[in-house]
Amino acid sequence: MTGLGSPRVELRNIHKSFPGVVALDDVNLSFQPGRVHALLGENGAGKSTLIKVLSGALAMDSGQIFLDGQLVDVTSTTAAQAMGISTVFQEVNLIPAMSVVKNMALARNNGRYGFISWKRARKDATDRLKRLRLDIDIERPVGSYSVAIQQLIAISRALEDNTSILVLDEPTASLDAKETASLFAVINELKSNGIAIVFITHFLDQVFDISDDVSILRNGQLVSTDQIKDLTRQDVITQMIGRELDEAEHTAADKSNFTAGKDMLVAKGLGRHRTLAPFDLTLRAGEVVGLAGLLGSGRTEMVKLVFGAIQADAGSIEIDGVKMPKISPQKSLRAGIAFCPEDRKAEGLIGELSIRENIMLSMQAKRGWLKRVSRKEQEKLAEEMIKALAIATPDAEKPVGQLSGGNQQKVVLARSLASTPRILLLDEPTRGIDVGAHAEIIALIRRLCADGMALLVASSELDEIVAAADRVVVMRDRHKIGEIDGKEITRDNIIQMIASQ
Amino acid sequence: MSDISQNNTSMGWFSAIIRHRSTWPIVALCVILIVDGFISPNFYEIRIVQGRLFGNLIDIMYRAVPTALVAIGMALVIGTKGIDLSVGSIIAICGAVISWRIHAGDTHFVILLYALGAGVMCGVWNGILVAGMGIQPIIATLILMVSGRGVGLLINSLYGGTNPSFESPLLQGLSTGHIWLIPTRLFVAAAVFLGIWLLIRRTALGLFIEAVGGNASSANIAGVNARFITFLAYVICGLCAGWAGVIMTADIHTSDPISVAMYIELDAILAVVIGGASLAGGRIYLGMTIIGALIIQALTTSILISGLRPEYNLVVKAVVVLFVLLLQSANARQAIATIFSRLKR
Ligand SMILES: Nc1ncnc2c1ncn2[C@@H]1O[C@H](COP(=O)(O)OP(=O)(O)OP(=O)(O)O)[C@@H](O)[C@H]1O
Ligand SMILES: [Mg+2]
């Protein structure tokens, strides 16, 4: 315990289990006003479950919650909101087709008798966004903004005047350095107003940047709570994963195996009006190409154009020297390309289907619907993938929507690997993935590359790109502005290139 | 965390059954049949008359066949997150086609193919509108729903249309005949069920339909041809409605586009939903859909034999259906399981 003044929120003996899983096992925690409390743990450790219990989204099996010393019964998110507990969940639940104002107005009744006063709603939305220094068109649908902006919209929606504790579940998973900095400025401001902040993340740097206290969960149990000043990075990692992790493997994966092979995919003048200016791109066997750029610079668009998830209106693609007449996800898949989308909920997974079904979907699609993969093969494949990627689940039949965020991300990855691609396109492959698994995925990328696969990895984490890539394509303002390769690939060089005019 | 909790096994099979999605529809069907036993003492009696089984239980199955056939196709369409309102009109068109070709003098087997072909063509039309042109299913199929019965009348007028009634040993044999004491249409329904089941579960079609219904853009990016799969679902639904059209038309010996199979789409949708599927798509429960169709028919039959005034028919039906649907909701099942586990303690 931190031994400071009286806590804003105190959780006592919290238990929560799901069929086959004990998600929270006798957890005791307290959050102090005016302090940022980081909640860490591996994928599936129970972090999201804990904050769902705190915010009334899930009923706990047993335990007590005290708010400012008083026992409270948090029956629903609305009840929590009224008590001053504001939460932004890991899976942002904005409605993409609705405008920003409407999404904001949904959360509250500003008018009388359940009517909405649009004038007031607009003013309210503008004010809220201003608090986060977000200057966007509030009439545009939320879905037309990047995931990062959506994240900020969700935060400003959660913040109330009476908010006394703000809970953020992986708010920075899709933000780049600049946006993270502006979010942290907001957090610091809220903190100085005496609000208690709970912050879940897998970025240890950010933990050391902003938090005051750190609690670590492992397998549903609280391992420790300490002040950040008493901890080192290595302590945190060891407590999180229960073993030591050589961080060297995390930052500088072994690139000695790099020998670029023949050209596998050549895009010439590929582009789409108002989406991405025409670009050339070559992917070679045994080479990892990193895709760097700020948010909105066109990283995702480039990957999607190459895969055919967005239709190009200019240019062409050759695979192994053969021109593809038309690019569509189906054709790409057959040609040996696999794609992991950035937004796992909207474009990656089918939440109702089981882990097994999600993993084998692409492989089955590649074979065609007539040649069914036998149940036995499916089960074998799922078991292999669950083991290889260390997906935390009691069994392969669990609906994928019930997995923790990081484990869902692993399932998306497993699906593309299962289709045995020769060219792999990854958009933010480590989003929401814990430190241990992060290192494993970077290592996996290098291993696949050594086996002769061609990879394109888009990421907002420069360190990840520096660690994994043999060549880096840099994007700015929906243009490809250049490439860097070999020894030139450093954080500074990339940043300089993005910033230069 | 990933170890199996003790808690789970001690809850036991009992609550597992209570929570299972198939439990409540089957219980509901049994309850209806048991209540019938009280209303009418010789309800369960089955006799052989003229080389064929007779009795209420047989009668319920016999009459449920058209709805069940339509519901099988509907289950696939609903699985894609779609809906097909035009099935009644497809049946009307099939009937008109049968009558027309009989008057044209085709052989009866060819006529059967014509009728099923008409169903398929209607499905193709719906499929093109929904999957090809991206029109919302409810609107797209509304077009054929509204115009289909008119098309049936037009087909009738091809041969004058004054007397569309007909006799066809083959078709009437399929519809009202019997083999080894058992009504032939039960075999037809069983064969269609089996065929569709094999088609979706022995190929990957079922999985793809569920993937498309669950999240079309995810499925598409995973490489599933969402449009083609959706198209196929409507075509299969058209085929199933075609079979229902053959059975119903042969039964009434005439083509009656105006009133044949009125509101059958509602019963079919209801059967699918009672079977545990959600209109939000993503799951196909073929077997339970049949149970759903049986529940609907059992209700209708029991209201008939109960001697209740016909005005109450629909109200009673609505109440029972509402009850079954309530039990189908995950929340309600969870609540019931909790109550039971408390009682046991
Ligand atoms: N609705 C649910 N039904 C069944 N199991 C669930 C459900 N929600 C969570 N779980 C399980 O509870 C465990 C804890 O999940 P939780 O989402 O809290 O993890 P987390 O620590 O937030 O992980 P991540 O870092 O990946 O987001 C996981 O094993 C998960 O599969
Ligand atoms: Mg989580």
- pLDDT tens by residue, A157-183: 888 778 889 999 888 877 777 778 878
Residues 65-124 of B with CB under 8 A from A: none
Contacts of B2 (CB under 8 A, 6+ apart): A21, A44, A219, A392, A393, A394
| Pair (A41, A126) in one structural domain | yes
| Pair (A408, A432) in one structural domain | no
| Pair (A158, A182) in one structural domain | yes
Q: Which residues of A touch B226 (CB under 8 A)?
A: none
Pairwise CA distance, residues A40 & A236, whole Å: 9
- State the smallest CA–CA distance between residue A424 and chain B in angstroms: 13
Pairwise CA distance, residues A489 & A289, whole Å: 11
Q: How does the average pLDDT of chain A come out, rounded? A: 84
The last residue of one of the domains, among A419, A437, A468, is: A419
What integer pLDDT is reported at residue B248 of this predicted model?
92
Pairwise CA distance, residues B115 & B69, whole Å: 15
| Pair (A380, A330) in one structural domain | no
Domain that holds residue A146: 9-241
Q: How many domains, chain A?
A: 3
What integer pLDDT is reported at residue B8 of this predicted model?
45
CATH number at residue A489: 3.40.50.300
A456 CA to middle of ligand 2, Å? 27
The last residue of one of the domains, among A403, A419, A435, is: A419
Locate tokens 């259906």: which residue?
Answer: B321
Locate tokens 């492959």: which residue?
Answer: A429
Output the pTM of the full model. 0.82
Is A60 near chain B, with CB under 8 Å? no
Q: Is residue A482 part of a domain?
A: yes
User: Does ligand 1 come within 6 angstroms of the Cβ of A392?
Assistant: yes
Q: Are the beta carbons of A220 and B1 separated by less than 8 Å?
A: yes
- Cβ atoms of B255 and B168 within 8 Å: the answer is no
Q: Which residues of A touch B211 (CB under 8 A)?
A: 350, 353, 357, 361
Q: Are the beta carbons of B4 and A309 separated by less than 8 Å?
A: no
- What is the ipTM score, two decimals? 0.80
Domain boundaries, chain B: 66-307
Q: Which residues pair with A271 in a beta bridge?
A: A314
| Pair (A118, A34) in one structural domain | yes
| Three-class SS state of B178 | strand
Q: Are the beta carbons of B1 and A22 separated by less than 8 Å?
A: yes
Quickly state the pLDDT bin for A1 (edges 50, 70, 90). Answer: very low
Q: Are the beta carbons of A44 and B205 separated by less than 8 Å?
A: no
Q: Is residue A344 part of a domain?
A: no
The last residue of one of the domains, among A183, A209, A241, is: A241
With a cut of 50, which residues of chain B have pLDDT below it? 1-10
What integer pLDDT is reported at residue B9 of this predicted model?
46
- Cβ atoms of A217 and A46 within 8 Å: the answer is yes
Alpha helices in A391-450 (DSSP H): 405-418, 435-450
pLDDT score of A189 more than 70: yes
Residues 276-315 of B with CB under 8 A from A: 282-283
What integer pLDDT is reported at residue B1 of this predicted model?
36
CA-closest candidate to residue B145, choices B88, B94, B93: B88
pLDDT score of A2 more than 60: no
